[in-house]
Structure 1
Amino acid sequence: MKPIFAKILDGKINDVYGIKVVDAPYFSTDFHFHEECQLTYKIESEGRRMIGDSIEDFNNEEIIFVGSNLPHVWHNSQQYFSDSTPNTHAYSISLFLHPEKILDIFHEPENIQKLRNFFQLAKRGMKFNLSTRKEIKPLLLKITQATEEITRLIVVLEILNLLCQNKDYVLLASPGYTNNYQLKDNDRMDKILKYVFDNFNKEILLVDAAEMTNMNKQAFCRYFKNRTQKTFVTFVNEVRIGHACKLIAESDHQISEMAYICGFNSLSNFNKFFKLAKGVTPKEYKKMLIAD
């Protein structure tokens, strides 16, 4: 799934921010990146998201901050695209911020170092925890309801102040992640990532993925690793482990059942890749959730 470069505030030279509300049956964006930072509050929906090299399931009431030029996509679970589940819904609010234009508002450089550091850190993507969500949510809703520009701008600055002061977050992309995608790439990556997101619970063969992108296996492996900084097999297993974490947190399935539900062909493989990805076994992970 190739990330597309998107111009968010194009043609609005003086604008430092923009707001977008999605209220639809499902999210339909492609894997993309843009110069603007993006604060997204997923009010209603579920599925899988990829931010840089981070792959996780997402649910309702999630707030993510995506830094400048960091590739990202939210892709709904398969039931959102099925006629048999007509009541599915996707609802989100996104605040787009142009980092350089925000910084230019302030005339004393020594007073904005904290904000500059925040924008730099956000290039890995940030997932905010419950306490921050409770503060940010009403402010984002206030922006969508405000009728005066000055009111919206004040709220935007209030949100930025909260984010800069806050330490209650998890960084998503790995420390060494860099965006290796090129605008001249075609839609190969977009096609293959969405294919994995929709079929991770089934057998996925490397040769089939290569054929989907009109490459041989060796060329596909090089292409995929160069852009995602991980092998295709690792990527597929990370998608499966992400779904397993969701099942452990939300269901009463036995660990042995989860292995096959998530697409692993054996319990031993499931345990092996789970510990590789999370640093603990599935049973240990479940105990950690209960302890919390």
Structure 2
Amino acid sequence: MTRAARTHDPSYELMDDHDGLSIIYRQHGFPCPLVRWHFHKEYELHLLVASSGKVFVGDYIGNFNPGSLFLTGPHLPHNWISQLAEGEVVDKRDMLVNFTDELFDSAQSVFSELKSLGPLLDRAAHGIEFRCRDTIAEAATLMQLIADTRGIARLGHFLILMERLAACDDYQLLSGTRAAPVADEHSADRTNRAVDYIFSHYARELPLEEVAEFLGMKPTYFSRIFKQATGRCFVEFVNRLRISKSCELLAQGDKPVTDVCFESGFNNISNFNRRFQQLKGMTPSHYRRLVMQRLTEQNRA
């Protein structure tokens, strides 16, 4: 495959615009061609500044909101899909900083202080969501300084940011898998299309055969490559997406659990309760109480 072809590949993102620089800063809106299930050799520090939706990191599925901050490691597949009204466009949704292992591998031989970032970079192999509000606020400020500066000043802001993130102990590790199980770009392309289709239809009955037909594949083959690419079988992936949606609905207010069940795509309340308990370790009602308690504590802080 040629270099030009890979640059536009929908699965593996080839960042050939380093231009001799240690880090890359980018920002973009939504929808955007960069928003897709993909992976690359760079680490990615990703701040969401607008909209809410679903985050996919390796085999993890969760929710994001304005102010959500993530760090993903090399070759760990990821995607953020905003939930917008039809025709709605967000001009600036994402602020991103990308960098490679080479930056620290080379610099540590000269600047031994950089070795303190090792544990943070190791954790990034699973994907990290930072939870500390003060850390996220400081990260947003530093990322804007990175966007506004060049040269040594930009590198200085980046190193301060990494030091702050390394010191943060309020975070969640996300994925059970550490990298893309296969580097087959064609398979990742089909997985991207499958994830987009599932995201658009998971709130109703959605058999594997329907998605396989959409992709023009035999169900058994689709099932195999989907699990290879996402780390989850099709049914488990869909159930996790539905449970993620139910968590979002439960956190929004006092909507009856039965309504949450059906709006999330489940058609059986007992199955919903069983899956929720299995994935969250508690009942939907208990989850709602914990969320309300946490919000109350945050408002008091």
1:40 — aligned with what?
46
Structure 2 unmatched runs, 5+ = 1-8, 295-301
In structure 2, give the amino acid aligned to 1:95.
V
The residue correspondences of 1:117-266 to structure 2 (distance < 5 A) are 117-129=119-131, 130-146=133-149, 148-174=150-176, 176-186=177-187, 187-266=189-268
Shift of 1:14: 3.1
Percent of matched pairs sharing the same residue: 27
Aligned runs of 1:40-79 on 2, under 5 Å?
Answer: 40-77=46-83, 79=85
Q: CA deviation at 1:140?
A: 0.8
Matched position secondary structure for 1:31: coil
What SS does the aligned partner of 1:181 have? coil
Structure 1 vs Structure 2 CA RMSD: 2.1
Q: How far is 1:195 from its partner? A: 0.7
Count of aligned pairs = 283
What are the superposed Cα offsets for residues 158-191 of structure 1, whole Å, 9 maximum, x if unpaired? 01111122211111102x5442132342432111
Q: Counterpart in 1 of 2:5?
A: none
Shift of 1:109: 7.6
The structural deviation recorded for 1:214 is: 2.3
Amino acid at match of 1:181: V
Contact persistence 1:78–1:198 (CA under 8 A): no
Give the aligned residue type for 2:148: Q
2: CA distance, partners of 1:224 / 1:258: 27
- Would the aligned equivalents of 1:47 and 1:75 in 2 still touch at CA under 8 Å? yes
Specify the alignment match of 1:21 in structure 2: 27
Partners of 2:190 and 2:229 in 1: how far apart? 11
Aligned to 2:4: none
- The structure-2 alpha-carbon separation of the partners of 1:124 and 1:256, relative to structure 1 and needing over 3 Å to count, comes to same
The Cα of 1:25 is off from its aligned counterpart by 4.5
Task: Indicate whether 1:4 and 2:7 are aligned.
Answer: no
Other structure's SS at 1:91 match: strand
Distance of 2:172 and 2:275 partners within structure 1: 22
| Runs of 5+ unmatched residues, structure 1 | none
Distance 2:49 2:30 in 1: 13
Question: Contact 1:27 / 1:90 at 8 angstroms: preserved in 2?
Answer: no
1:13 positional shift: 6.0
Post-superposition CA distance 1:12-64 (Å, at most 9, x none): 36321010011x35344221111111111100022212111101121111111
Q: 1:257 to 1:216 in 2, by over 3 A?
A: same
Query: Is the contact between residue 27 and residue 76 of structure 1 (CA under 8 Å) also seen in structure 2?
Result: no
Q: Distance in 1 between matches of 2:194 and 2:256?
A: 30
Letter of the 2:64 counterpart: F
Which position in structure 1 is the counterpart of 2:36?
Answer: 30
Which amino acid is the alignment partner of residue 193 of structure 2? K
Q: Distance in 2 between matches of 1:60 and 1:109?
A: 35
State the Cα distance separating 1:221 from its structure 2 match.
Answer: 1.8
In 1, distance between residues paired with 2:114 and 2:238? Answer: 41
8 Å contact 1:240–1:262 — kept in the other structure? yes
User: For 1:30 and 1:197, how far apart are their aligned partners in 2?
Assistant: 12
> Which letter maps to 1:280?
M
CA distance in 1, matches of 2:111, 2:92: 40
Q: Deviations over 1:177-230 (max 9, x none)?
A: 442132342432111101111111111011111212222222222222222221
CA distance in structure 2 between the partners assigned to 1:97 and 1:184 by the alignment: 22
Letter aligned with residue 5 of structure 1 = Y
- Matches of 2:153 and 2:113 in 1, distance apart? 23
Name the CA distance, whole Å, in 2 between partners of 1:15 and 1:144: 14
Q: 1:110 to 1:151 in 2, by over 3 A?
A: closer
Aligned partners of 1:11, 1:264: CA distance in 2, in Å? 45
- Work out the CA distance in 1 between the residues paired with 2:23 and 2:32: 22
CA distance in 1 between partners of 2:273 and 2:109 (Å): 54
Offset at residue 280 of structure 1 (A) = 1.0
What amino acid is the match of 1:17?
I
Distance 1:46 1:17 in 2: 27
Kept in 2, the 8 Å contact 1:27–1:74? The answer is: no
